[in-house]
Amino acid sequence: MKRTKPTKMPPIRTSSSRTPLAFHLLVKPTGAVCNLDCKYCFFLSKEMLYPGSSFRMSDELLKTYIRELLDAQRMPEVSINWQGGEPTLMGLDFFQRSVDDVEKYKNPGQKVLYTIQTNGTKLDKDWVAFFKQHNFLVGLSIDGPKEFHDAYRVNKGGQGSFDQVLKAWKVLTQHGVEVNILSTVNAANADHPLEVYHFFRDELKAQYMQFIPIIERATPETLTLANQGWGERPGAERPLYTQIGELVTERSVKPEQFGRFLITIFDEWVQRDVGKVFVQSFDAALANWLGQPSLCIFQRTCGEALVLEHNGDLYSCDHFVEPDYLLGNIRKTHMLDLVSSDQQKKFGQDKFDTLPQFCRQCEVLFACYGECPRNRFIHTPDGEPGLNYLCSGYKLLFNHINHPMRIMAQLLRSGRYADEVMSILAKEEMHGVSDEI
Q: In the complex with ligand SF4, which residue's Cβ is closer, 12 or 426?
A: 12
Binding mask 299-338 for ligand SF4 (x = CB under 6 A): ---x--x-----------x-x-------------------
- 335 vs 93: CA distance, rounded Å: 25
Judged by CB under 6 A, the residue of 309, 394, 408, 409 near ligand SF4 is 394
Q: In the complex with ligand SF4, which residue's Cβ is closer, 162 or 369?
A: 369
- 437 vs 420: CA distance, rounded Å: 10
In whole angstroms, the minimum distance from the beta carbon of 216 to ligand SF4 comes to 16
Catalytic residue among 93, 126, 143, 318: 318
In whole angstroms, the minimum distance from the beta carbon of 273 to ligand SF4 comes to 25
In whole angstroms, the minimum distance from the beta carbon of 252 to ligand SF4 comes to 17
Separation in Å, CA 98 to CA 83, 102, 310, 311: 14, 6, 14, 16
Burial class (CB in 10 A: 0-12, 13-18, 19+), 111: exposed
Nearest residue to 63 via CA among 363, 305, 335: 335
Q: In the complex with ligand SF4, which residue's Cβ is closer, 169 or 377?
A: 377
- 182 vs 282: CA distance, rounded Å: 14
Contact 143, 149 (CB under 8 A): yes
| Site size toward ligand SF4, by CB under 6 A | 22
Contact 53, 311 (CB under 8 A): yes
Residue 395 is a binding residue for ligand SF4 (CB under 6 A): yes
Q: Where are the alpha helices (DSSP H) in 308-390?
A: 335-339, 342-353, 357-360, 365-368
Residue 370 is a binding residue for ligand SF4 (CB under 6 A): yes
Confirm whether 313 is a catalytic residue. Answer: no
Residue 365 is a binding residue for ligand SF4 (CB under 6 A): yes
- 239 vs 360: CA distance, rounded Å: 35
Q: In the complex with ligand SF4, which residue's Cβ is closer, 200 or 298?
A: 298
CB within 8 Å of 407: residues ≥ 6 apart: 421, 424, 425, 437
Q: In the complex with ligand SF4, which residue's Cβ is closer, 265 or 362?
A: 362
Q: Which stretch binds ligand SF4 (CB under 6 A): 221-229, 235-243, 354-362, 421-429?
A: 354-362
- 137 vs 368: CA distance, rounded Å: 27
Q: In the complex with ligand SF4, which residue's Cβ is closer, 114 or 389?
A: 389
Residue 112 is a binding residue for ligand SF4 (CB under 6 A): no
Footprint of ligand SF4 (CB under 6 A): 296-297, 302, 305, 317, 319, 351, 358-359, 362, 364-365, 368, 370-374, 388, 391, 394-395
Give the catalytic positions in this structure.
318
